[in-house]
């Protein structure tokens, strides 16, 4: 039985294939890779010849992974990430922290007065200058999914309810209320509530009897619709105060109030790297927090 060995050139071609697949096509990958379509195509052909299968369809109909391409992408992504962890883990044995720290965050946390995440990242840079943070803002659902798929090492978002798949470290508390424009032309308690897929919005509609309004993607969209005076919206108190500098909002006196504990969340079954342990310790120090249960 022949053995399929990959050399350094093959690994580079695999990385290019993964980038193209994740970007959704050659054109989208050109800028990320800083390569021409012809060069990208040549590398993918090399991988296909090495594996003896067609990995993707490309042409006027667009880009699409074959069944073999889907399998190759999953396996290659895991393998390349494992290779990328070798140097940081060896460095940690030597007492030097390095590598990438992937962090996901909910939107608008920076405007909360108790948020010390920028200070935590600055302190991480001081103590471990070779660690490179990668930070991305995502929705609640996407953050949980990214943790499960190990695309993130830590997510900073609300806990809502404890999930045994995750470990939680409490950082600070965010208060959510139902807001309307002060000079709304309609009776405020009857205004429909802007909808987004979020535990507190679902509870507001299901338990408190509000009418469902239009869909919105994110706090900025909710704030915009509330500012029209035609809708109510569930917003964090600190974000509503920021919007209120231009559009005067008020919380409904008889509306629900939610206390949302913002946590640093990690996957329970995934061992912590030393760089992540350091970052979590710094978050603890700056937020004077305690591990969630």
pLDDT at 250: 93
Residue pLDDT, tens place only, 2-51: 445 666 677 778 888 888 888 888 888 887 777 788 888 888 888 888 88
Residue pLDDT, tens place only, 252-279: 988 999 999 999 999 998 888 889 999 9
Phi, then psi, of 134 in degrees rounded to 5: -120, 120
Query: 35: number of CA atoms within 13 Å, CB side?
Result: 19
Mean pLDDT of all residues belonging to the chain: 85
Burial of 245 (0-12, 13-18, 19+ CB in 10 A): exposed
pLDDT at 103: 96
Residue pLDDT, tens place only, 85-116: 655 565 555 555 778 899 999 988 998 999 99
* Position with higher pLDDT, 123 vs 77: 123
Angle value at C-alpha 11, between 8 and 12, nearest 5 degrees: 90
* Position with higher pLDDT, 154 vs 90: 154
Q: Which CATH architecture has domain 97-293?
A: 3-Layer(aba) Sandwich (3.40)
Which CATH code fits 8-89?
1.10.10.10
Residue pLDDT, tens place only, 163-192: 888 999 999 999 999 999 987 656 666 889
Q: Where are the domains of the chain?
A: 8-89, 97-293
C-alpha 157/C-alpha 155 separation (Å) is: 6
Query: How does 218-239 read in b/e, with b if 16+ C-beta sit within 10 Å?
Result: ebeebbbbbbebbbbbbbbebb
């Amino acid at each position: 039985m022949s053995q399929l060995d990959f050399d350094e050139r093959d690994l580079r071609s695999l990385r290019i294939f993964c980038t193209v697949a994740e970007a959704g096509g050659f054109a989208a990958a050109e800028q990320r890779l800083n390569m021409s379509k012809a060069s990208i195509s040549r590398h993918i052909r090399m991988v296909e010849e090495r594996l003896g299968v067609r990995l993707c369809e490309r042409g006027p109909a667009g880009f699409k992974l074959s069944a073999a391409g889907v399998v190759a992408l999953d396996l290659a992504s895991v393998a390349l990430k494992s290779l990328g962890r070798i140097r940081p883990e060896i460095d940690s044995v030597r007492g030097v922290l390095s590598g990438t720290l992937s962090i996901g965050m909910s939107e608008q946390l920076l405007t909360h007065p108790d948020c010390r995440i920028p200070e935590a990242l600055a302190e991480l840079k001081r103590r471990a200058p070779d660690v490179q943070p990668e930070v991305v803002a995502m929705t609640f659902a996407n953050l949980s999914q990214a943790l499960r798929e190990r695309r993130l090492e830590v997510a900073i978002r609300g806990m809502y309810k404890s999930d045994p798949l995750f470990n939680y470290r409490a950082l600070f508390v965010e208060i959510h209320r139902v807001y309307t424009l002060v000079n709304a032309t309609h009776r405020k308690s009857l205004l429909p509530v802007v909808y987004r897929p979020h535990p507190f919005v679902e509870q507001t509609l299901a338990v408190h009897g509000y009418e469902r309004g239009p869909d919105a993607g994110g706090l900025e969209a909710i704030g915009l619709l509330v500012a029209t005076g035609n809708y109510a919206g569930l917003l964090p108190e600190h974000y509503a105060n920021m919007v209120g500098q231009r559009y005067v909002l008020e919380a409904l006196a008889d509306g629900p109030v939610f206390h949302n504990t913002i946590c640093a969340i990690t996957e329970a079954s995934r061992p912590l790297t030393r760089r992540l342990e350091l970052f979590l310790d710094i978050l603890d120090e700056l937020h004077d927090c305690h591990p969630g249960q």
